Copies of this chain bind each other. A is one copy, B any other.
Amino acid sequence: MPVTMREVALQAGVSIKTVSRVVNDQGEISDLTRERVLIAIDNLGYRPSKVARALVTRRTDTIGLIFGDIANPYLSEVSLGVLDTAANEKFEVFICNTGGIPESEKRALTSLLDHNIDGAIIFPLYANRIWIQEIAQPDQPIVLMNCDIVPRPGLGLIATEMRKGARLAVDYLAKKGHRNIGMLAGEVAPKNVIQRVQGYRDGLELNGIKYRDELVLNVGTVIESGKIGTQQLLAQHPEISALFCYNDLIAMGAIEACKKLGRRVPDDCAIVGFDNIRFSSLVSPAITTVHVDKYEIGRQASNRLVDMLRNPGAIYPPIIVDVELIIRESA
């Protein structure tokens, strides 16, 4: 049903190949012929099929972006960085949301790749090198964010100083006199969670506080998880006077829970978040948190991917983005 090159060629009275040349601006074409073809294209409303083209060129000028939760403002901001940069470089971006399901993370990459996208940026929850290599061809570069996989050709890395950030936060709480510091830690498996827990331990150790496993609770990563997690943790360990949260959403949930429990924040329970999403300065109390330059992470990831696309085979060192503690009202 769609208009094909054949029809354009017919109407313009030239060969299909000539139409292709005009469309792709390649080879030598006389002005007259070009004009005729252009008119035919316009008349018929012809649009080249990217699918057919992709079949032979193996390029689509489209990249994929895969992450776990579109409703997470942290990821939105990262995405903004990716999108702006990609648009500048004339790449289309297709976004896939995995909903945090490991299975789905794999499916998303597969699907994108099977659609012949040129490369992908993944904010992995469960991705590991093994299955990425299984799915992606060496000439399909992948950039991983917040992940400690060793770089190799076709694999790019953008990491955040998450461990340091967690240490800064916990150290701050400890210096304020808190000795019983709980942590609401997101899921169990993902590397970014593990790193933040590591930083939490670093912070405790730095202040001579013994790490207690039972003060770390793995909940989800959304507001509700923070709410439920806080209720649970404070019920089991009322001695907790401060909470370090995996992210600001959890911190918001924690604040809600404290309000409900009659615990004043920060006096009865100090709360520190992570990411510094836009909303964390607006809630009450404003959240003390670890700032991450999310847009920059996206920008770097996108740039790196484009570099890899233009420069196949090259191997790039990881990019590491720094963090900073922002003190507000909640701790």
Contacts and interface: CB of A to CB of B under 8 A. Distances in A.
Interface of A: 1-2, 45, 47-52, 54-55, 60, 62, 70-71, 73, 76-77, 79-80, 83-84, 87, 92-97, 99, 104, 107-108, 110-112, 114-116, 134, 137-139, 223, 252, 255-256, 278-279, 282-284
A284 B283 CA distance: 6
Contacts of A79: 70-71, 97
Contact of A114 (B50, B93, B114, B278): B50
Contacts of A1: 137-139
13 contacts: A1-B139, A47-B110, A48-B114, A49-B55, A51-B115, A60-B115, A70-B79, A71-B76, A79-B97, A83-B99, A94-B115, A255-B282, A282-B284
A99 to B, nearest CB: 7
Given A55-B51, A83-B70, A95 B92 contact: no
- Each complex incorporates copies of this chain amounting to 2
Nearest to A135: B47
B83 A111 contact: no
A115 B115 contact: yes
Given A52-B55, A60-B115, A282-B283, 20 more contacts: A2-B137, A49-B55, A51-B51, A55-B55, A62-B115, A70-B70, A70-B80, A70-B95, A71-B77, A83-B97, A83-B99, A93-B97, A94-B94, A94-B112, A115-B115, A252-B282, A255-B282, A279-B279, A283-B283, A283-B284
A255 to B, nearest CB: 8
B83 A76 contact: no
Given A278-B223, A283-B282, A80 B71 contact: yes
A195 to B, nearest CB: 25
